[in-house]
Structure 1
Amino acid sequence: MSLTPEEIAELTDEVSLWFTQDYIALGLWTFYLYHYLTTLAEEVSTIWPQQWRTGKILFLLLRYTPICYITLGTLSSIPLRPWATLAQCSPQATPQVCQGLSIAEALGKTGA
């Protein structure tokens, strides 16, 4: 069973949306990393010498939780077996369409 032009257009729009979301996330993560690196020296001199109190704990939680979230999210999005689910791609899609979508997704996640 082959896809209709409308279904192909819909898949194209979905892939475009995936790429747009990935690029926006990459830009925001890059900005956060830049902010982290430029304020690290100030953090070391100001926060680290302080005693462990509510303010220091709250600061460190708010500062390092996003870094852990970004790292885990990035690692979980790396395809370990990008071709494992080609047969399960879509009942209406041909293997070539599934393979193309899988390649596009893998390229999007690696930044190629």
Structure 2
Amino acid sequence: MAVSEETIQALADAVAGWRLQECVYISFFCLYVYYVLTTMAEDVSIILPQKWNRGKTLHMTIRYGLIVFIAVQLISENYFLISPNACKALFIIWNLFNFVVKLTCNFTLGICLGALLQTNTLYLAAIVVLSCGVTLVNAVISVVSTIQYPAEPISPLDAELGYPCVVPSGEQWSALTIAYTGRDVRAYVNLVTTTLLSLMGVITLAVRYRGQGGRLIQVLRRDGGVYYLSLLAIRLAEAIVRTPTVVSVSALDGSPAYL
């Protein structure tokens, strides 16, 4: 059966978008792995000798959980021969580590904001819920969806592109899983909560660091302010991009912004 020029062009555009997306996140992966390798000496001399506590657990989860996530991501997008069931297992592991790292980052963000604002336990709990609530809901829905999605053999196109595992489309996710259940509502709630957290960050700057003058940058680095401001900026950008009125679901799935 003859294939129309429009179909060929649409496929070419889709493949170009996928390749661009891969180049973007592989660049970030390389940057992070380089950072881990160049700071390994400090990790071995300072962090590893310490007893296991909540701080060390959070640090190790974020630092090395992301390494596992990167490894699984790269394994599932190379010219390997992987069975459908093994692909499904990899996808579940990928999702688990993805959200474990995200939840840990968001939890530390809430703890940092609460500590810098010197709030009581009730307000600290509220900040942590704001920081982690939507991410936890997304994690549960996403992991359940990966379990629901059936293990399928790859198509000839996936094989030619070097994908050893099926890359389901948005329509397939929507039809076979609960992945898109309340997606728009969750996106808007995430935008609202992230905006509130950003306002708290601004209030923290105004209250906590008032009168620091030229020493502001040094104080921010000492108190972890650079960390939570960077995390807030990344989270706010992600929340805006994932808002349906900004980028549609179909456009987002193949966009380099969807990382």
- TM-score, shorter chain, exceeding 0.5: yes
Amino acid at match of 1:80: L
Q: Indicate yes or no: 2:48 matched with 1:48.
A: yes
Alpha-carbon separation, structure 2, partners of 1:80 and 1:28: 26
TM-score, reference length from structure 2: 0.33
Deviation at 1:54, TM superposition (A): 0.8
**Corresponding pairs, count:** 92
Alpha-carbon separation, structure 1, partners of 2:22 and 2:49: 38
CA contact (8 A) 2:29 2:70 kept: yes
Identify the residue that residue 85 of structure 1 maps to in structure 2: 155
Note the alpha carbon deviations across 1:26-63, whole angstroms, 9 max, x for none: 10110011100111111111101111111111111111
| Superposition map of 1:31-110 within 5 A | 31-78=31-78, 79-80=80-81, 85-86=155-156, 98=157, 102-103=159-160, 105-106=161-162
Alpha-carbon separation, structure 2, partners of 1:6 and 1:57: 52
> Could you list the runs of 5+ residues in structure 2 that have no partner in the other structure?
83-153, 164-259
Deviation at 1:85, TM superposition (A): 3.1
SS where residue 2 of structure 2 aligns? coil
Deviation at 1:102, TM superposition (A): 4.0
CA contact (8 A) 2:77 2:162 kept: no
Identify the residue that residue 24 of structure 2 maps to in structure 1: 24
Amino acid at match of 1:3: V
SS where residue 20 of structure 1 aligns? helix
Alpha-carbon separation, structure 2, partners of 1:54 and 1:102: 44
Structure 1: which 4+ aligned runs deviate by more than 6 Å?
Answer: none
Deviates more, 1:59-68 or 1:70-79: 70-79
* Aligned-residue RMSD, C-alpha: 2.1
Identify the residue that residue 7 of structure 2 maps to in structure 1: 7
Alpha-carbon separation, structure 2, partners of 1:37 and 1:30: 11
Amino acid at match of 2:56: K
Alpha-carbon separation, structure 1, partners of 2:52 and 2:159: 48
> Could you list the runs of 5+ residues in structure 1 that have no partner in the other structure?
87-97, 108-112
Note the alpha carbon deviations across 1:61-96, whole angstroms, 9 max, x for none: 111110011111211223417xx633xxxxxxxxxx
Identify the residue that residue 110 of structure 1 maps to in structure 2: none
Identify the residue that residue 91 of structure 1 maps to in structure 2: none
Amino acid at match of 1:38: T
